[in-house]
Structure 1
Amino acid sequence: MKGAMEKVREIWREGRRVGKEDPRRIVHSFKVGLALALVSSFYYYPPLYDNFGVNAMWAVMTVVVVFEFSVGATLGKGINRAVATLVAGGLGVGAHHLASLSGPTIEPILLAVFVFVQAALSTFVRFFPRVKARYDYGILI
Structure 2
Amino acid sequence: MQPFGGAVVHRLDPSPEHLARLGGFFRNGDFTQEIVQAIASGDVAVLVTIERQSVEVGGLPRQEWPLRVTLVFRREDGEWRLAHRHADPLVRGISLDQAAALARGEDAPEHDARAEDERAGGERGGGARGGGTRVSVSRHPLGEPGGG
- Which TM bucket (shorter chain)? under 0.3
**Which structure dedicates a bigger proportion of its chain to helix?**
1
Q: Normalization by structure 1: what TM-score?
A: 0.25
**Which structure dedicates a bigger proportion of its chain to strand?**
2
Q: Normalization by structure 2: what TM-score?
A: 0.25
